Structure 1
Amino acid sequence: MSLWWSKESPRDVEQRAAEAGEASAEAAVALEKANADAEPGKPKKQVTPDLTAAAFFDVDNTMMMGSSLFHLARGLASRKYFTTADLAGFAWQQLKFRISGKEGDLNSPREQALSFVAGRSVAELNAIGEEIYDELMADKIWSGTRALAQLHLDAGQRVWLVTATPVEIANLIARKLGLTGALGTVAEQKDGVYTGRLVGDLLHGRAKAHAVRALAAKEGLNLKRCTAYSDSVNDVPMLSVVGTAVAINPDTGLRDIARERQWEIRDWRTGRKAAKIGVPSVLGIGALAGVLAAGMAYRKR
């Protein structure tokens, strides 16, 4: 399959990545406000806010086992959004993902999945997404990673998911986990209906780094005080823009880079001890408690 961006110059690709990042940051801020407006009376744990530090978590194989987009595709297929043949393609990609731990390149059904919502309303996807999360995603959350996210929240920091999954679904996952919000791929809308086109590009690779920078500018974050987590070598650009980078369930490429750059490594996939280099400095004295909490959560799982 030939991809439309394959004929573009590196400058055009970078421009689309920047556009995707900016659009994702704008959507994330708007959705965070919408979440707050929808639950004005919801009690929140009283913590002293740390307004200039935040944490950014990749989703697939970092916060969630497997691909969030594949789980979404399964749910949509069961609701006749597309054929079983389409789902079989997703299954093959998921199998390769689970074996290698890599998201792979963009020559995959990932970009096709975003076209399946063309002509559907945003409200419809949100409602179906709620059902699909409860059915197929809720039990796929890595408890160790969730414990790390909670540690940042308890320190008064905001926590954002960063994923190529549509931003509405990413925001739903964040809301279900009690996180601040999410940066995700922005699908173009017209009058509340998806057109099937993207704003910029998929939020993948360098686009994630652009999104994190754009959100930091909007929210007044000091990126040197921020932490990012991912499993994939594709996310090295995002991991490189923050002060502290942590590799979670890393693929071979990311593991090598993490060791070279002395980034912390955590692996929930087996009982073996993963290499652990340092601790997230942004957490200060709370880091040890986080390590213990993550370890306890993993053992319970």
Structure 2
Amino acid sequence: MVPFDRTAAIFDVDDSLLDGNAGTIFTWYLYNQKAMRPEMRSRIPRIIYEYARHRLTEQDMVEVGSRCQQGLYADDLRAHAHACFERHLRKRITSGAMRHIRRHLLSGHFVLIASGSPQYIVDEVGRHLRVHAAIGTRTRIVDGKATDQIVPPVVFREGKRAAVEAVLERWDLDPARSWLYSDSVADVPLFEAVGNPVVVNPKAPFRALAERRGWEVQEWRERNRPGDQPDIADEWGSWGG
């Protein structure tokens, strides 16, 4: 019997599987908890300002999201990620993502989530969804603490494709038989590598590209959000990635 029928289902996390951006929400959680080192925390408002003025790229923000953890103990980051997920992310998982993940799991496929967001928060999403693997952007750990050194590749654009392809190769999974669900034009290199591309919640320019390429388009907007309590992610918006 061929494991997983050599088929993977790859899910982007931000603004598709989740209504929101996991890295943004986790960074602002650390900011609001005053868990960051003071020198890094003082830079966050300026970084957001520079990004809003298009002086920083999406990849810059992916890297910032991981480097802001510098100096924090890995065990503390895991605990913060768990608390952040339970408080802010669990309710943001879209119903469309849940349906498709369950369908692929019941079909015996290898289910993988991948995001440029920090590995700690991506792990929490993956654990909750019981997927087979979760890929995020990682930093080196020295003496139990996070450094500002990102473990290559940065999980964005070609780096994301490389990270996903490494997992597929490890499990002998066939990209031509596999599925990708993502909202991001930055994932075009990965869309081009799989046999079953599905574009989720695309903005207008990417929707037009998807339609020209003949890629399926779906809308995953619905999510369960109990109560009316304020959410830091609604206050601060999204960095992308």
Pair in the same fold by TM > 0.5:
yes
Q: What SS does the aligned partner of 2:16 have?
A: coil
Residue in structure 1 matched with residue 236 of structure 2 by the alignment: none
Q: In 2, distance between residues paired with 1:248 and 1:125?
A: 30
TM-score by length of structure 2 reads 0.81
Q: Does 1:70 align with 2:24?
A: yes
Contact kept, 8 Å, 2:153 with 2:160, in 1: the verdict is: no
- Residue correspondence of structure 1 range 206-217 to structure 2 within 5 A: 206-217=158-169
Q: In 2, distance between residues paired with 1:201 and 1:178?
A: 24
- Residue correspondence of structure 1 range 1-301 to structure 2 within 5 A: 50-82=4-36, 86=43, 88=45, 105-106=57-58, 108-269=60-221, 298=222
Q: In 2, distance between residues paired with 1:250 and 1:94?
A: 21
Percent pairwise identity: 27
Tell me which amino acid in the other structure corresponds to 1:77.
Y
Q: In 2, distance between residues paired with 1:95 and 1:158?
A: 37
Tell me which amino acid in the other structure corresponds to 2:220.
W
Once the two structures are overlaid, the 10-residue window that deviates more, 56-65 or 248-257, is 248-257
Aligned Cα RMSD in Å? Answer: 2.6
Contact kept, 8 Å, 1:49 with 1:155, in 2: the verdict is: no
Aligned residues between the structures: 219
Relative distance call for 1:53 and 1:112 in structure 2 (3 A) is same
Residue in structure 1 matched with residue 233 of structure 2 by the alignment: none
Q: In 2, distance between residues paired with 1:201 and 1:180?
A: 20
Higher strand share: 2
Relative distance call for 1:172 and 1:56 in structure 2 (3 A) is same
Flag the structure with more relative contact order, 1 or 2, with Cα contacts below 8 A and sequence separation at least 6: 2
Once the two structures are overlaid, the 10-residue window that deviates more, 58-67 or 175-184, is 175-184
Q: Which has the larger radius of gyration?
A: 1
Q: What SS does the aligned partner of 2:58 have?
A: coil
Q: In 1, distance between residues paired with 2:213 and 2:182?
A: 15
Contact kept, 8 Å, 2:27 with 2:68, in 1: the verdict is: no
Once the two structures are overlaid, the 10-residue window that deviates more, 87-96 or 157-166, is 87-96
Higher helix share: 1
Q: In 2, distance between residues paired with 1:250 and 1:236?
A: 12
